[in-house]
Every structure is written in structure tokens, then in C-alpha cells.
């Protein structure tokens, strides 16, 4: 019997303002992931469109029912025989009145198995002087999402969600053994916190963490940190893309996922049964 770990592919991108270019890049990356033996590919936040110019991007951002993007991902999943985590894409909410930052999980048969709208908005003023107000363009989601995949039970989150550990505890309470954290971290916050936060989330949940990231300088002028990272349940990095794409629009890293490591980590440090704070009125 084959007991080798299952492979996940992290796809690091430098997404731009043209969705067709981004989709073509994703298609090429999926072919490479499939050739490398991956069963599921993970893309970064805003993989299909990274553009902070609200006027320029408006024509592309429609309700999911009217968007061609999910169907394109479904076709790619079927053609490559891979599960896909989309990273995320900007869409109009079903009420048409607000934008959401939405992830999709697509099975290898092309069916959409899960959706998740980013909950926590990146509203910050950084020491570098950078000012970000994600809530000016997007509304936060209001529901958690977990889904069974060939890798294990996957809990969904996006970028700034990473800084809120209670979200990941709730995903574990719903059975998550892996955590998807697609991101577009700034260079300054990435250098300071990215590895620290991802490893902390893995250790405190006993989960694999799969974090595909945007990297490099983008067409809309922003710069992102990259360093796509996979972490095992003991907090050890198992795959990383340390350089930005430079001479290509993407990079891939293959991460071995042995789901038995989740049980081993949780048995060694039984946080679920030791968690006494739940019995204290705060």
C-alpha cells in the first residue's frame, strides 16, 4: 500500500489588472502542479484580479452568478484533474450593493464544494506610513467555511484573518485538519510577521497551514511580500517559495501532507482537552 504523503501545490503569483492574463497564468501553473503529482493547488488572495483602482476594476466585478471566473476555474479543475483553492476573487455580493473578497474550493470533477467571504478587513495605518482601508471597497463576510478535500478537512480564511486566532479555533472545532490562508501581505508586515503568524496558527491548532501568497511589484503599483509557505502541525515549515516570480508570473512549491501528523501533534500536546479558559467567564 502506498503510504507516501499527499502533495499540495502552493502557487505564488504576481497577479495584475488583466483577469485573462491571470487566468492563463493559473492554467499554466495547474499543469505544472498536476505534472508534479499534486492533488490540490492553492492560489493567493486576489489571484484573478489585483487592482486597487476601483473605477478601473468595476467592469470586472459582478455577482458570482454573472461572473465567468468560477466557471473558468471549474473547467480547469476538470481538465487538469485537480482540486483547486482559488485563493480569492473580488465579486459583488448577491444583493449587488457591496463587494466581497471570496474564496472557492473546486473539486476535480468541476463542482464547487465551498465558498468563503473574508471576514476581517485590513484597515490599518502602518509604521511605514502605508494606509489601507479595505472596508472602503469590501464588506466583511459573516460565516465560517470548512470542506472535505483529498488532503483532509480544510478550514478557509483569507490574509488579514490570519491575525485572529479565535477564527482558527472555531474552524478546528468544526473538524479542520488543514487551514488555507491565501494572502497578499505588504512587504513590511510580511517581513515582520508572516512566518511567525503562520507557524503560530499551525502550532496552536495542530493543523497543516497552506498559505499561497502574492509576490513582487504589481501593475497597480503595490508590492507584496511573497514567501508562500506550508507548515506542518508541529510548526515546522515543509515548503516555501522564498523568491518573488521576477522572470515569470508564478512559482510553485509542492508540500507533502501526511494527515497522520495532525493526530500525532494533537496527542503530544492535547490543547483541545487542556483548554480551561472556556470554563471561565471573561
User: What residues pair up with 209 in beta bridges, in sequence order?
Assistant: 179, 231
Report how far residue 203's alpha carbon sits from residue 205's, in angstroms, rounded to the nearest whole number: 6
The three cell numbers locating residue 213:
501568497
The pLDDT score that the predictor gives to residue 1 is: 41
**Residue 244: predicted pLDDT:** 64
Instruction: Give the single-character DSSP code of 276.
Output: -
Residue 245: pLDDT band (50, 70, 90) is low
pLDDT of residue 170: 98
Residues of the chain with pLDDT > 90, as a percent, come to: 83
Distance (Å, whole) CA 258 – CA 140: 33
Supply the CATH number for residue 243's domain: 3.60.110.10
Region 217-244 average pLDDT? 94
Residue 259 is assigned to a structural domain of this protein: yes
Nearest alpha carbon to residue 236 among 256, 215, 251: 256
More confident residue, 51 or 129: 51
Q: Is residue 29 part of a domain?
A: yes
Q: Count H helices and E strands in the chain, helices first.
A: 8, 17
CA neighbor of 83 nearest in space, from 180, 204, 199? 180
132 vs 77: which has the higher pLDDT: 77
Q: Answer yes or no: is 282 within a domain.
A: no
User: Residue 89 domain-assigned?
Assistant: yes
User: Catalytic amino acids?
Assistant: 45, 118, 159
Contact predicate 159/181, CB 8 Å: yes
Domain count, the chain: 1
For position 96, what pLDDT does the model report?
85
List pLDDT tens digits, range 9-59.
999 999 999 999 999 999 999 999 999 999 999 999 999 999 988 889 999
The answer to whether the CB of 226 falls within 8 A of the CB of 213 is: yes
Residue 59 lies in a domain: yes
Q: How far apart are CA 127 and CA 193, in angstroms?
A: 14
Q: Which domain holds residue 14?
A: 6-277
Mean pLDDT of the chain: 94
Question: How distant, in Å, are the alpha carbons of 74, 239, 250 from that of 247?
Answer: 28, 21, 9
Q: Quick check: is 1 in a domain?
A: no
113 in a domain, yes or no? yes
| Class of residue 3 by CB neighbours under 10 A (exposed 0-12, middle 13-18, buried 19+) | exposed
Amino acid at each position: 500500500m502506498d503510504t507516501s504523503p499527499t502533495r499540495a501545490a502552493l502557487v505564488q503569483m504576481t497577479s495584475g489588472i488583466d483577469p485573462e492574463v491571470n487566468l492563463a497564468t493559473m492554467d499554466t501553473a495547474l499543469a505544472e502542479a498536476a505534472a508534479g503529482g499534486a492533488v490540490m493547488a492553492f492560489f493567493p488572495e486576489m489571484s484573478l484580479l489585483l487592482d486597487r483602482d476601483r473605477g478601473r476594476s468595476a467592469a470586472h466585478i459582478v455577482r458570482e452568478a454573472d461572473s465567468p471566473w468560477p466557471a473558468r476555474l471549474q473547467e480547469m479543475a476538470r481538465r487538469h484533474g485537480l482540486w483547486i483553492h482559488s485563493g480569492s476573487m473580488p465579486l459583488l455580493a448577491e444583493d449587488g450593493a457591496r463587494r466581497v473578497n471570496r474564496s472557492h474550493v473546486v473539486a476535480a470533477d468541476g463542482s464547487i464544494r465551498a465558498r468563503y467571504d473574508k471576514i476581517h478587513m485590513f484597515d490599518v495605518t502602518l509604521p511605514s506610513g502605508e494606509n489601507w482601508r479595505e472596508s472602503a471597497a469590501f464588506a466583511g463576510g459573516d460565516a465560517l467555511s470548512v470542506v472535505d478535500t483529498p488532503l483532509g478537512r480544510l478550514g478557509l480564511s483569507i490574509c488579514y484573518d490570519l491575525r485572529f486566532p479565535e477564527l482558527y479555533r472555531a474552524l478546528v472545532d468544526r473538524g479542520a485538519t488543514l487551514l488555507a490562508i491565501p494572502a497578499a501581505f505588504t512587504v513590511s508586515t510580511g517581513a515582520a510577521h508572516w512566518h511567525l503568524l503562520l507557524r503560530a496558527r499551525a502550532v496552536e491548532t495542530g493543523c497543516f497551514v497552506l498559505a499561497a501568497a502574492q509576490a513582487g511589484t504589481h501593475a497597480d503599483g503595490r508590492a507584496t511580500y511573497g514567501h508562500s509557505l506550508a507548515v506542518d502541525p508541529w510548526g515546522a515549515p515543509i515548503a516555501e517559495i522564498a523568491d518573488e516570480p521576477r522572470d515569470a508570473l508564478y512559482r510553485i512549491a509542492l508540500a507533502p501532507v501526511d494527515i497522520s501528523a495532525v493526530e500525532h501533534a494533537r496527542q503530544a500536546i492535547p490543547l483541545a482537552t487542556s483548554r480551561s479558559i472556556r470554563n471561565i467567564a471573561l
